[in-house]
Amino acid sequence: MLTPARRASLGKRAGVAAGLLGVLCVIAEFCFLLPDLFVTRDALPLYAANIGLFRGVLQSAILATFVLGAASVLLLRSKTYGLTGIALAAIALLLGGAEAEPLAIDTPRAMSAGLDYLVLELLVLGLIFIPLERLYSLREHHRDPEAMLEHDFVETNGATCLAAAPVLGVAAATPAAAGMQAALQILLACSALLAVAANQCHKWAHMRAADVPRFARLLQRLRIALPPDAHRNHHTRPFDTHYCTASGRLNRLLDRTGFFRGMERAFRAVRRRSRKRGAGRRIPN
């Protein structure tokens, strides 16, 4: 039996996931309808050769959006999250769903927006990092940063390997080719492989120098793997910098631009608004 707090947590997660996936579905529909405007030109032959696969992915995503939205409606007292996801899935279906066909354009454009790359990149990152976050709790790590040193290789890297396996499978199953198709295969493979390595690099950054393997120490000195001194800043108050756990090379750029702090503020604002809405609906005893 789910407790009220657990129901609310699951409902919010399902609703947010439905909304984000619904947005990707709608963007994908526009890519199907107006490929000359929104799809990377070099990738068009790849999509044409594997159109059945991409239609199946879109159909599955729309179905998943409906299911997640319905779950949120059933679990949450506030129906906003779930209904938003369901509405986006309905819009995707109205635009043609998985059977959407390109619309005729009299004057093809010389350049395109490349929204297909955005959709694929977000799906790949979601497939990798959402399971990772659920299987390896970051909250536990920040309560006790050294606890991960007690984990063996499987415990440390199992979550990322499981999340990366489907992505590597897709990259391996796609026939080898040149041009944009090869670039997409490399993107999928490298995204998955680097995600697998990220948690191991993170663990090395927490280990004593004497316990880190020699080749890993070399990678740290070359800044290919995350150095301990760079990651130490992340566990220093106010704990709002140096979030990257693979090599740390993007930390300076992302910290200067306020990327992660902006994400935190946005999530906190949504969380506060959700709590206020929930508090306003409580019936006093």
Q: Which pLDDT score is estimated for 47?
A: 81
Share of the chain above pLDDT 70, in %: 73
Average pLDDT over residues 54-65: 87
Is the pLDDT assigned to residue 133 strictly greater than 60? no
Q: Which pLDDT score is estimated for 281?
A: 54
Please tell me which residue, 40 or 66, carries the higher pLDDT value.
66
pLDDT tens digit sequence for 207-239: 988 889 999 999 888 888 888 888 888 887 777
State how far the Cα of 163 lies from the Cα of 56, in Å rounded to an integer. Answer: 20
Whole-prediction pTM: 0.52
Please tell me which residue, 130 or 34, carries the higher pLDDT value.
34
Average pLDDT over residues 1-14: 77
Q: Which pLDDT score is estimated for 7?
A: 79
